[in-house]
Structure 1
Amino acid sequence: MTQDTEINGTAVDELQTSFRGEIIRPHDAGYDDHRKVWNGSIDRRPAVIARCTGVADIRAALRLARSLGLLAAVRGGGHSFPGLSVCDDGMVIDLSLMKGIRVDPEARTARVQAGVLLGELDRETQEFGLAVPSGIVTHTGVAGLTLGGGIGWIMRKHGLTIDQLLSVDLVTADGELVRASEEHNADLFWGVRGGGGNFGIVTEFEFRLVPVGPQVMAGPVFWAMEDTPEVLRFYRDWLADCPDELMTAAIQRKAPALPIVPPGLVGKHVIAIVGCYAGSVDDGERVMRPLKEFGSPVLDLCRPKPFLEHQKMFDPSFPHGWSYYVRSCDVAGLSDDVIDIATEHGLRITSPVTSVAMWQLGGAVGRIADDATAFNGRQAGFTFNINGNSKTADGFDAERQWARDYWSALAPYHTGVYVNFLMEEGEERVRQAYGAAKYRRLKALKRKYDPTNFFRLNQNIKPD
């Protein structure tokens, strides 16, 4: 096509002369590797991939994309469920080479570039017994996680990732580099804390660090899936007066084929309660004891361990290249009806890599004023993450339908949705993720910073 000839010709050659990073086109070695994203069900072929090393490269790539009228995808960790960090025929502005991390242990702050992954950040901060509240799979990108809010294992004690965000440096759609914080461009700072990549390309994040570990009491306790009603009712009561230090999730799946899982349990339907205590190990052991002693667990892996080890726990269940589909919703709590739905659909899991996570909210998350950030849903009780997954395309359609059916059964109890757990579900679902008032405010912000909707490969907030 004409556009492809133009992209592969003079304009890209001119960009390459001043570009410090790497320009990759379809005929170049490495193209297929660099167009791949975490979700193996996504197969898109960009016309050009601009692997940036810093702000100058990002601005140059933006200028080229705008001059050629190219659709642009922005890639940090490449970990979005719907694969929004890659596109067909357009440009991928790839930030994965931008790996700078600077920790100040005295000030308890960290400056983090946009290509950093969670595990890379954890490694640097845990050297000083510190952490940024972050997600649950270490090869997730810091950028995408943060811009959507950031839920993870220490959020009930220390808030969402955005609640420890001090500032960002951001390149706008017209190429201007701006700083956003409580003191500078406060409207933009409000928007990037939950509003995703709608307003520009964040090149660097500044975080406040919190003390965690290096040892924590953490891990899962498993029961047979048939015990789900009793387990979840006990779980609900046990959490009623739990301390902020305790963060948990209930997991439904088939027991994975991992060395730590007894061979006789592999493939059996199980429900697990996973905990992480963001305080002393002794206190954590005391708080977790009722969980470990309830009923007849089939496996107990809850123990003192390095925080870094716990952060990696889910990595084997979400590797690069498998096919992933998610439906998600917030609910007010685990009512008897919700528990009955979870029991019924959990027993219908067929894929060995399909799973459901019910993430406990509350604590510090709910004590931040709801209008303080663009993130919505601080008063929800749980976030359901319903994953219909398969290792290959075989069986993927059936897993997607299972996830949709589970989600639909929960529809009477939906109170909202976490934006980072959305697929490409349309404008109304994005509106639901923010609520009507915040959505109007975000649209006004979009008109100010990206009036042409250049940054639209995201959970998009249209400026019209």
Structure 2
Amino acid sequence: MEEKLQTGHIILPDHELYEEKRKVWNGLINRYPAAIFECKSEEDVVSAVIYAQKKNLEISVRGGGHHLAGTAVCDDGVMIDLSSMNAVAVDAKRGFVEVEGGATLADVDAETQHYGLATPTGTVSKTGIAGLALGGGFGYLRGKYGLTSDNIISVRMVTAAGDVIYADKDEHPELFWAVRGGGGNFGVVTSFIFQLHAVGPEVLAIDVMYDYKDTKQIIRNLEEYMEDAPDEVSVNLAIIQLPPAPILPEHLHNKRVVTISGMYSGNPEKGEEVVKPLRNLAEPLIDSTGVMPYTALQKKLDPMVPTGLPVDGTSLFFKELDDQVLNILIKGIDDSKLPMVMVQLWALHGEANRVSSHHTAFAVRDARFLLIIDGEVPKDGSSEDLGWIDAMYEKLLPYSYVKSSYLNGVKPEEQITKNTYAENYKKLSEIKERYDPDNLFCHNHNIEPSNFKKANN
């Protein structure tokens, strides 16, 4: 290959590191890029994009490589790996943090917490900040400070033309609107600047385990609690089957349970009284609610998503959780033959829901719950096993909020993408036409350029 990078490396299929570098978190993903550009600088990213242009190759971009669908890696295209570009620089005086596109949530939290500051991120610390932020970003600060994408102040990015541009509310404002929820459709974001907020260093972490038999009661009580819950509270409900782990009492081994996890982002002493109803949604099996470092809370769920596990999943937003929805969920869980199933319901309220659906590309602002379903998929499983996730999606779709999904937690599919962006899709397509008319950046929840189909018919 005649192409060279200033500081990074180009890894071809015959390279000794190729097999390792093409792998992502989800063990179900098995793709073979034509070339992997391991970038260490913005100049390297420019070189990679120009190479893809010259060779007429599609591009995938790896930040953390944590998307369920493995969008970081493509077959027969150019994989741009940003994982070595993970610098984080805090400007505590102005309340900003500059983050390179390959940084993980753990990288960001480690630096910002030195100053008792944080930006809203997700709930698994190994996740890449870039993919999370570009697709929305729900975490324990969503009620108080909104989505990760709502806290983007500016981005630097390399476009499909190989140009390096800066976008904020004043420069390239239409692109700035698009990247806040529009995914990686418009170029490679090499760095972000995020707004910071006073959080930590210790917070009140909500952690209660209930019996699965009480699921409906727990959800109904949670719905009632969230009707007037303060912004400082963010709550996730999960239905899981416990492993036979030594740290658990023997009577809980292999038992299906409901967990309530979350955070009170204000004064922990005040929070104790505020979150008390969440600790009594039914009779608790275990209550581990207590004060802990914010960085520890952000890593608490990491063991639930081990690298290499073959996983499939889906997501939908809901305005209401009526009995039909809960019956479908519970029956589906009971009937599943998958080795592991995790069903999550994230309560949505506060700042994340106050932003207009047209203020940024992220359009789903009126839902009250986000449903995320993940399952371990045996590679030698039956077709019935392998289709369980899709069947659950189809059964629940008619009851969902405008048939919309959280794109960071669902496989790419054209109708899902259009349903989710709703009225914003047309504007996004026009912006895509301006910045990526040939759809080089298509390994994502793809927004086709407005003239793309016409040009290719």
TM-score by length of 1: 0.93
Partner amino acid for 1:112? Answer: V
How far off is 1:78 after superposition? 0.9
Distance in 1 between the 2:78 and 2:45 partners? 12
Q: Note closer, same or farther for the CA distance 1:189–1:396 as it changes in structure 2 (3 Å cut).
A: farther
Structure 2 unmatched runs, 5+ = 452-457
Match of 1:141 among 123, 128, 150: 128
Which position in structure 1 is the counterpart of 2:157?
170
- Segments of structure 1 that go 5 or more residues without pairing to the other structure are 1-11
Partner of 1:3: none
**For 1:20-419, what aligned pairs fall within 5 Å after superposition?**
20-258=7-245, 260-351=247-338, 353-390=340-377, 393-395=379-381, 398-415=384-401, 416-419=404-407
Tell me which residue corresponds to 1:422: 410
Q: Which amino acid aligns with 2:288?
A: L
* Distance in 2, Cα, partners of 1:396 & 1:419: 27
SS of 1:325's equivalent? Answer: strand
3-state SS in 1 of match to 2:340 = coil
- 1:132 offset after TM fit, Å? 1.1
Alignment partner, residue 6 of structure 1: none
Q: CA deviation at 1:222?
A: 1.4
Deviates more, 1:340-349 or 1:291-300: 340-349
**How far 1:283 sits from its partner (Å)?**
1.8
For the residue of structure 2 that corresponds to 1:458, the secondary structure is coil
Q: Answer whether contact 2:57 2:440 (CA < 8 A) is retained.
A: no
Q: 1:349: how far off? A: 4.5
Q: 1:434 aligns with which of 405, 421, 427?
A: 421
Query: Aligned equivalents of 1:214 and 1:260: distance in 2?
Result: 27
Distance 1:382 1:115 in 2: 30
Q: How many residues align?
A: 448
Distance 1:355 1:400, change over 3 A: farther
Q: Which amino acid aligns with 2:213?
A: E
Deviation at 1:137, TM superposition (A): 0.8
Instruction: Call closer, same or farther: CA 1:85–1:367 in 2, change over 3 Å.
Output: same
Q: How far apart are the structure 2 equivalents of 1:237 and 1:45?
A: 49
CA distance in 1, matches of 2:165, 2:154: 10
Task: Sort the Cα spacing of 1:104 and 1:396 in 2 relative to 1 into closer, same or farther, 3 A.
Answer: farther
- What's the secondary structure of 1:241's corresponding residue? coil
Q: Which residue of 2 aligns with 1:462?
A: 448
Matched letter for residue 184 of structure 1:
E
Residue aligned with 1:127, SS: helix
Q: Tell me the distance in 2 between the aligned counterparts of 1:125 and 1:62.
A: 31
Report the Cα offset of residue 350 of structure 1: 4.5
Structure 1 runs (4+) greater than 6 angstroms displaced: none
Percentage identity across paired residues of the two chains: 39
Report the RMSD for the aligned CA atoms in angstroms.
Answer: 1.6
Asked if 2 retains the 8 angstrom alpha-carbon contact of 1:147 and 1:193, the reply is yes
Between the aligned partners of 1:428 and 1:130, the Cα distance in structure 2 is: 39
> How big is the shift at 1:223?
1.5
Give the AA of the match of 1:269. Answer: R
| Residue aligned with 1:347, SS | helix
Q: Under a length normalisation based on structure 2, what TM-score does the superposition of the two structures give? A: 0.94
Q: Is the contact made by 1:362 and 1:378 (CA closer than 8 Å) also made in structure 2?
A: no
Distance across 2 between alignment mates of 1:83 and 1:347: 28
1:445 corresponds in structure 2 to: 431
> Aligned partners of 2:287, 2:251: CA distance in 1, in Å?
15
